[in-house]
Structure 1
Amino acid sequence: MKSIFQDLRFSIRQLLKSPGFALTAIFSLALGIGATTAVFSVVHAILVDPYPYAKPERMAHLRLEQSPTDNRGANLSFPQWQQLRKSPAVEDAFITDNWSLTVTGHDLPEDVNGSFLSSNAFNFLGVPALYGRGLIPADAIDGQDPQPVVVLGYKFWQRHFNSDPTVVGHTLQLVRKNYTIVGVANPRFTWDDGDVYLPLKITQDQVAEHYVGIRLKPGISLKAGTEAIAPLIEQFQKETPKHFPTGGHYKFRLYGLNEDTVQNLGGTLYLLFSAVVLLLAIGCGNVSILLLARGAGRRHELALRVAIGATRGRLIRQMLTEAVLLSATGAALGILLAYRSLAFIIKQLPEYSFPHEAAIRLDIPVLAFSVVLALLTGVLFGLWPALQLSRPNIGEIIQSGSRKVAGSLSGKATNNALIATQIALTLLLLAGAGASIQGFLKIMHAPLGYDPHNVMSVGIPVHENTYPTWEARSTYFNQLQKKISEVPGVTMTAISTNATPPANGWETAVQFLGKPTNDDQKVRINFVSPNYFPVLGVPRLQGRIWDETENLHGLPLVVINETMAKLYFPNGDAVGHALKIPDLHDAPPYNLVAPGAEGWLQIIGIVADKRDDGLRKPILPEAFIPYTLSLRMWTQILVRSSVPPLTLLHAVGSQVISVDPDQQISGNIQDLEQWITGQQEYQQEHLVALLFGAFALLALILAAVGLYSVVSYTVAQRTNEFGIRLALGAQRTHVLQIVFASTTVSVGTGLAAGVALTLALNKLLSHWAEGSSHDPLILLLVTVVLCTVAAIACALPASRASLIDPVEALRH
């Protein structure tokens, strides 16, 4: 034990004598381990263990797949849900619904997201309440009105009740009705992102359709569950055909609870994790280079220690102690860095692309991974130089006496291999960063086809049991638009039920009068007012737009975009034709359809294309019909203003209250420029570009430091040689050439290997980044950058070598 403490004290003294070496090694490890730990924490929390629910691996969504990229939920009625629960493959199932509610009884009403759950849902999900209890079967008996009880969502409880733990038993008024608070949900219970959870009334209604979540019985796979439930879905389709795609051209499949997240974000996270693993490899290689170079400089010291009786085991233990001390310090700092960087990464994640139940933190598995990784790396790059240098040729080194030697051929080969590997991995990271940045720039500068500047989208929900007739709801929406138009600073308004770009519309099949029916004729249907087009600056190309009178009467008219006109009417004669939307049905109170809306709609105009399927995908066929043809329980009013629109939000909200004091605007209002940056593809490309770029920059710095360290040690070991050359008349440029030549092979090999790796992995890289890593300009640019940095890293010690005083050099 005493000798171990001696080794530790000696190691600390040695590292303090070489602070540049110690700090560089620790910094290299801290960066690699910190970044790897942070990203691994995100991957673990989102993709491996995101849900706190009971047996989440057996929970599933019901989906109807119409194409590999187009699937929708298989929503069911209450009787169908009860029948599904009896399936031999299903352990249990719950049913949910959502409504926007208003907290009343206060000076300032507040819009909240109400999640209505069947009374078995809390038991099904299995997450105990933080305070009080969840919903229980007695809260909602089938066929009866539910009890007036409510469970508060955790964030709503924090915001509205200031985290008061005594809130259970108090009363909360929602839309003029009092509810008793029976519990506060657990922080990780965020199903449907509900602010409040209420019992759902179960009836025999076959019109309403709701989300149903199921849990399969033990031992039943998703595939087996799909096969067992498919006959029931076919039966339900016959019972309620309006709940299913027209024509029945779909494939039923069960989706795992987290399958959407894995598909949408998994590749991006694995790509970033691969990037930080490369960064960690570069950092570990850096420390290996430093230790090898430093060990070569200690050959004389080791020879003397062996000469006076030091054993090989003692030498190995000493050098391993130094390496483990470095790695442990680097790991500790890396974990601290991970804590700091984790919060930053979380902020960059696309908001709705991962489960909000996920607890992203540095948990025990991640910490264990970091500790083991640090110890392994310490042993690996401590043992290698230790074994090489623990058997020095005492006679050769002592005979060399006071002169430095360049080191063994094997040592040079090892250094060259490590440098080449660093260069190759750094080039790969730089090429990936270049591709991701190129992709993000494409997203940023994608032509929109509309003007989002100074426009905001104000969501306005319609509460349950209000405006139940077509006439009442149409009048209400019209009054809202007129009142908001009167706000000072507002220049124009339009109603856009579902048409807020760049991703908008209800995709469904259509039929054309006089043409064969084809279920592949998919069109995005948008419900808008006639002012929609001037508000967004979308130009009319042909025909006309319906007017306000036609809009108020809900006339069966339609305007299509240029893409749809070219696809379905290649002869340029779209205006005057008619189409029908088979899936447009009257379903009160959720959807109130105007007379004639289920028949043929006349095409009266063509407008220019705008983005309707995101910022990356091609524009799809799009049709616009008067919003009065289909009045939903939700609408949006687009507001164009002469000032920043969000500054008018309070005035707009006041106008909404003046029409109906119980109705509120939704809680998350954005202008359309924020709407664009909030798109998942925008945020995902931004995340990849930002983090990939940061990792590539750090890798470039680490590679430069590693190259600089090797060249510096080489110069130090060859000081006497350079002095002799200069004393014999060699030019300083000759010395510079020697130093640069010592790294040419390793750097050149690394560049060639890096280009080969980049080309080999391009398909994978381009799948998760819009740009292409084998773009000649990107490859050329990153190669030039890497060569420049390598040249600078070599030039500094080479310049020192060329300025060596021959007299001083010979004294060594």
Structure 2
Amino acid sequence: MRTLLHDFRFSFRQLQKSPGFALTAVLSLALGIGATTAVFSVIYAVLMNPYPYAAPDRMVHMRLLDSSAKQRFAGLTGSQWQTIRKSPVVEDAFISDDWNLTVTGHDLPEDVNGVYMTSNSFNYMGVPPALGRGLIPSDAIDGQDPQPVAVLGYKFWQRHFNGDPAVLGQTMQLVRKNYRIVGVAAPRFTWDDGDVYLPLKITQDPARSFYVGLRLKPGVTHAMAAAALTPLIQQFAKETPDHFPKDRFTFQVIGLNEDFIHQIGGTLALLFCAVALLLAIGCGNVSILLLARGTARQHEFAVRAAIGATRRRIVRQLLTEALLLSLTGTALGVVLAYRLVALIVAMLPPYSFPHEAAIAINLPVLAFSVGVALLTGILFGLWPAVQLSHPEVSQVMQSSTRRIAGGVRGRSTNNVLIAGQIALTLLMLAGAAAAMEGFLKLLHTPLGYDPHNVISVGIPVHENTYTTVAERAAYFELLRKKVADVPGVTMAAISSNATPPANGSDQGIEILGRPPKDEQKIRVNFVSPGYFPILHIQLAHGRIWDETENHNAARLAVINQTMARLYFPNGDAIGRSFKIPDLQSQARFVLSPMMSPEYLEIVGIIADKRDDGLRNSILPEAFIPYTLSMRMYTQILVRSDVPPLSLLHTIGAAVNSVDPDQQINANVQDLEHWISDQQEWQQEHLVAWLFGSFAVLALALAAVGLYSVVSYTVAQRTNEFGIRMALGAQRAHVLRIVFLSTVASVGGGILGGIALTLALQKLLARWAEGSSRDPLILLGAVGVLGTVAAIACLLPALRASQVDPMTALRYE
């Protein structure tokens, strides 16, 4: 131990003598380790340990795969939940159902997300509350109305009650009903992003279906569970056919985190590869710096070897210096990672990761960082240590020249390291350029509508209000008129489910005069006629229904060009009719003047607009008067001549003036934010900016490494350059010699980088729309890298060309 401490003290003194070297090496490692630690923190929290719940590895979602292999939600009734709990492969099951509620008794009613849960839910989750208690079995006894108790979500408690612990026992009013607050959920208990958790009343109503979560018994695999539960699910499908696909389907169970792994796992893997490359480049940089610095210490190593120091002792000393650098770099890297983690979290798509995840620098992440530091210290320090630990004592002692052990072999090692750096840097530059190209393409995707100065205001309708078709239609229209009269608003329209760029509900249709086909599916949107002019959507053929037809719930439809081409290729769509058989399947929550599905006449065709995100192909869609199918939720599109969010409070007051208990949705955004909130937009943005930032850092590190090697070469050949210039060589000749000394390493690195880029194109293409095979991207990356390499060589080359021959001849 005493010898080890001595080595560290000596290493520290040596590094103090070379502050420039030490600072460059430490920063090279800090950038690599900091970025790697930050991305690993996100990966650990999102993919490896996202949930605080009991046995989350055995918690599963139920899914149905229809005939087109599209995944659907599997909803069960209350009695079906009670049945599936008794399955031999199920340890326990719970129900949750979310609903927009209103906190009343304030200036304007506040919109909150209420989550109704069965009384076993908190025991099922196994997360102790922050205050008080969770829901317990006595809060909701079968056959009785639940107790008026509420458990607050942690963030809602912080926001609405300022984190006051005296909240327990207080009463809060939700839709004019008083609830006693019995607890505050733990910070990481965020199931369904609930603001308040309330006990759910279970009934035997076959029309009401819920999300049911299962916990499998120990040892039961997903395949075993799916096989055991399939007969039960098929029985449920016969009992409640409206809750299941009409055609053949397959039942499966998936892990609690599987949806998120599918959404964000590949993107995080790509970013981790990028930071691993950055770390490799940083380690290579330090190896180059150690080799270059070792030149100055060659005489020292020769003296130590001459007086009896073994090769092992010299290697240990050099490894100690490398470990000191790596541990210092890690300490700074962890500090950097704290800031970088916050940046990455802010850029993650909002709903692409579980909100229970605690993304932070924690003990497992710190252990990972220390492990990386030790590994990199050994890796980047071992090879230079071996190279420098066996000096040619007789030659060094006789000549006192700055000649690295192995001479040509040492220069070859530097050339290999530089070539590797250049190759990895080119790979990152090409990948970053491809990602940025993909993001730019996404930004310039034709929308087919104008989102500027438009907001979508959500209007959740409370249960058991406006219960007739006439009442609800009049209510929606009055809300629209009140909002339209707000100063600054130029237009307002109802858009129940049609806010682009991803809108509509998928429905099967039957075309009049043709046999029914399972594959005839479209996106169905419920809107008022003002929807089209407010978004500046072009009418291609026919007409839009008018306000009178909308009020009378006319059986009319407007379709997009894609639907017209797909189902009416002869150009005869206008005047044809179709019906939507499943339009009334959610009768409990839908009011419609149609007693059964009726045929809708096509009266117009609009130009295509985005309806399935920014990247996917446009789907066939139809627009029908919202008065034909009125849900317990609608949206009002508002176009204004001022920034629309500035009118939000006034719009809320206008809505409240119609019904004092009516709130607007808590998360109102303008339509430009609806675009930027798309998962593909967020992921492309994340990859483009972070990958681009890491590529720039890699380029800077590679430039430093190349500069170090060229500087080392110039220092080694000072005498040679002095002799050449004394014999009449021109400065241009010396410049050419210096540049030619880097051609092999830089050229080999560029060729290797091109090969790597082409080989890994398919991997990159999974998460970035751009292509690194694009000749312009490759050419641009090579050009940038070549320019930076030339600049890195230029400074030491100029220094070599300006050497005074007499000074050079006297050099050591």
TM-score, scaled relative to structure 1: 0.98
Cα distance in 1 for residues equivalent to 2:384 and 2:191: 55
Shift of 1:7: 3.3
State the shift of 1:5 in Å: 4.3
Once the two structures are superposed, what CA deviation does each residue of 1:220-271 show, in whole Å capped at 9, x if it has no partner?
A: 11111111111122111111111122x3233222121111101111100000
Residues 98 and 113 of structure 2 are in contact (CA less than 8 Å); yes or no, is this contact kept in structure 1?
A: yes
Equivalent position of 1:268 in the other structure: 267
CA distance in 2, matches of 1:145, 1:465: 16
For 1:70 and 1:492, locate their aligned partners in 2 and report how far apart those are by CA, in whole Å.
37
CA distance in 2, matches of 1:782, 1:597: 62
For 1:534 and 1:158, the matched residues in 2 are separated by 42
1:56-67 aligned within 5 A: 56-66=56-66
Shift in Å at residue 581 of structure 1?
0.8
Whole-angstrom CA distance in 1 between matches of 2:10 and 2:567:
82
* Structure 1 segment 165-204 matched on structure 2, within 5 A: 165-204=165-204
- 1:385, distance to aligned residue in structure 2 (A): 2.1
CA contact (8 A) 1:36 1:273 kept: yes
Q: 1:6: Cα distance to partner?
A: 4.1
Q: Trace 1:580-595 onto structure 2 (pairs within 5 A).
A: 580-585=579-584, 587-595=586-594
Q: For residue 697 of structure 1, give the secondary structure of its aligned residue in structure 2.
A: helix
Q: Whole-Å Cα distance in 1 between the matches of residues 94 and 266 of structure 2? A: 31
The separation in 2 between residues aligned to 1:404 and 1:396, in whole angstroms, is 9
The 5 Å alignment of 1:663-812 reads: 663-812=662-811
1:346 corresponds to:
345
Contact 1:153 1:197 in 2 (8 A): yes
Corresponding residue number in structure 1 for 2:438? 439
Kept after mapping to 1: 8 A contact 2:108/2:652: no
The CA deviation at 1:2 is: 5.2
Give runs of aligned pairs for residues 109-148 of structure 1, distance below 5 A: 109-148=109-148
Q: Secondary structure at 1:768's aligned position in 2?
A: coil
**Structure 1 residue aligned with 2:258:** 259
Deviations 1:2-27 (A, max 9, x none): 55444333322322222221111000
Give the equivalent residue in structure 2 for 1:103: 103
2:220 matched residue in structure 1: 220
Q: Distance in 2 between matches of 1:493 and 1:108?
A: 21
Structure 2 unaligned segments of length 5 or more: list them: none
Q: Aligned in 2, Cα 1:403/1:325: closer, same or farther, shift over 3 Å?
A: closer
| Aligned partner letter, 1:54 | A
Q: Is the 8 A contact 1:45 1:359 kept in 2?
A: yes
SS of the aligned residue for 1:603 comes to strand
Residues 26, 330 of structure 1: 8 Å contact kept: yes
Partner of 1:73: 73
Count of matched residue pairs: 811
Give the deviation of 1:107 after TM superposition: 3.5
CA drift at 1:307: 2.8
Which deviations, in whole Å up to 9, do the C-alpha atoms of 1:738-797 show, x marking residues without a partner? Answer: 211111111111111111111111011011001111111100000110111111111111
Task: Find the counterpart in structure 1 of residue 644 from structure 2.
Answer: 645
Between 232-241 and 24-33, the greater mean CA deviation after superposition: 232-241
Q: Which residue of 2 aligns with 1:464?
A: 463
Structure 2 CA distance for aligned equivalents of residues 725 and 597 of structure 1: 98
Taking the TM superposition and a 5 Å limit, the aligned residue runs for 1:286-685 are: 286-402=285-401, 408-585=407-584, 587-595=586-594, 598-685=597-684
Q: What CA distance in whole angstroms lies between the structure 2 residues aligned with 1:68 and 1:314?
A: 68
CA–CA distance in structure 2, aligned partners of residues 68 and 684 of structure 1 = 26
SS of the counterpart of 1:458? strand
- After superposition, the Cα gap between the structure-2 partners of 1:488 and 1:293, relative to the gap in structure 1 and judged at 3 Å, is same
The CA distance in 2 between the partners of 1:381 and 1:279, in whole Å, is: 14
- Change in Cα spacing, 1:597 to 1:440, as seen in structure 2 (3 Å) is farther
Partner of 2:672, secondary structure, is helix
Task: Give the 3-state SS of the residue equivalent to 2:38 in structure 1.
Answer: helix
* Counterparts of 2:737 and 2:406, CA distance in 1: 16
Give distance in 1, aligned partners of 2:600 and 2:89: 45
3-state DSSP of counterpart to 1:166: helix
Provide the secondary structure at the position in 2 that maps to 1:203.
Answer: coil
Question: Take 1:429 and 1:740, find their aligned partners in 2: how far apart are those partners?
Answer: 24
Residue equivalent to 1:161: 161
Residues 598-630 of structure 1: per-residue CA shift (max 9 Å, x gap):
111111111110000001111110100111111
- Cα pair distance change 1:681/1:636, threshold 3 Å: same
Kindly provide the amino acid, as one letter, of the partner of residue 770 in structure 1: E
Structure 1 residue 556: Cα displacement: 1.5
Separation (CA, whole Å) in 2 of partners of 1:121 and 1:382? 54
Cα deviation, 1:86-125, whole Å, max 9, x if unaligned, reads: 2222111111111111111234421111000011111111
* Aligned twin of 1:90: 90
Q: For residues 469 and 57 of structure 2, what CA distance do their matches in structure 1 show?
A: 44
* One-letter amino acid matched to 1:584: L
User: Contact between 1:458 and 1:638, CA under 8 Å: does it hold in 2?
Assistant: yes
Greater displacement, 290-299 / 709-718:
290-299
Letter in 2 for 1:617: N
- Counterpart CA distance in 1 for 2:760 and 2:146 is 58
Q: Displacement, 1:337?
A: 0.7
CA contact (8 A) 1:131 1:165 kept: yes
Which segment is superposed worse, 282-291 or 299-308?
Answer: 299-308
Amino acid at match of 2:389: S
Alpha-carbon distance between aligned partners in 2 of 1:236 and 1:471, rounded to the nearest angstrom = 35
CA distances 1:343-371 after superposition (whole Å, capped 9, x unpaired): 11100000111100000011211111110
CA distance in 2 between counterparts of 1:342 and 1:67 reads 42
Letter in 1 for 2:167: V
Where does structure 1 lack aligned partners over 5 or more consecutive residues?
Answer: none
Question: CA distance change for structure 1 residues 403 and 351 in 2, over 3 Å: closer, same or farther?
Answer: closer
1:1-12 equivalences in 2 (<5 Å): 3-12=3-12
Paired with 2:277 and 2:451, the residues of 1 have a C-alpha distance of: 40
Contact residue 528 and residue 626 of structure 2 kept, 8 A: yes
CA distance in 2 between counterparts of 1:447 and 1:108 reads 38
Q: In angstroms, what is the RMSD of aligned CA positions?
A: 1.4
SS of residue paired to 2:346: helix
Q: Which amino acid aligns with 1:712?
A: S
Using the TM superposition, give the Cα deviation of residue 47 of structure 1 relative to its aligned residue in structure 2, in angstroms: 0.7
Structure 1 residue 57: Cα displacement: 1.0
> Do the aligned partners of 2:25 and 2:285 also contact (CA within 8 Å) in 1?
yes
Q: Using a 3 Å threshold, how does the CA distance of structure 1 residues 728 and 189 change in structure 2: closer, same or farther?
A: same
CA distance, structure 2, for counterparts of residue 802 and residue 585 of structure 1? 85
1:171 aligned partner, one-letter code: T
Q: Distance in 1 between matches of 2:680 and 2:382?
A: 46
Which is further off, 295-304 or 740-749?
A: 295-304
Distance 2:519 2:264 in 1: 29
Q: Distance in 1 between matches of 2:442 and 2:324?
A: 46
Given that residues 456 and 670 in structure 2 are in contact (C-alpha distance below 8 angstroms), is that contact kept between their aligned partners in structure 1?
Answer: yes
The superposition leaves residues 162-192 of structure 1 with CA deviations (integer Å, 9 ceiling, x where unpaired) of 0011211111111111101010000000001
Secondary structure (helix, strand or coil) at the match of 1:593 reads coil
Q: CA deviation at 1:406?
A: 9.2
User: For 2:804 and 2:322, how far apart are their aligned partners in 1?
Assistant: 35
Residues of 1 paired with 2:91 and 2:511: CA distance? 45
How many Å separate the matches in 1 of 2:69 and 2:29? 42
| Separation in 1, partners of 2:373, 2:564 | 62
Check conservation: 2:27, 2:329, Cα contact below 8 A.
Answer: yes
Alignment correspondent of 2:42: 42
**Is the Cα contact below 8 Å between 1:589 and 1:633 reproduced in 2?**
no
Name the aligned partner's letter for residue 500 of structure 2: P
Counterpart CA distance in 2 for 1:516 and 1:795 is 76
Q: CA deviation at 1:511?
A: 1.0
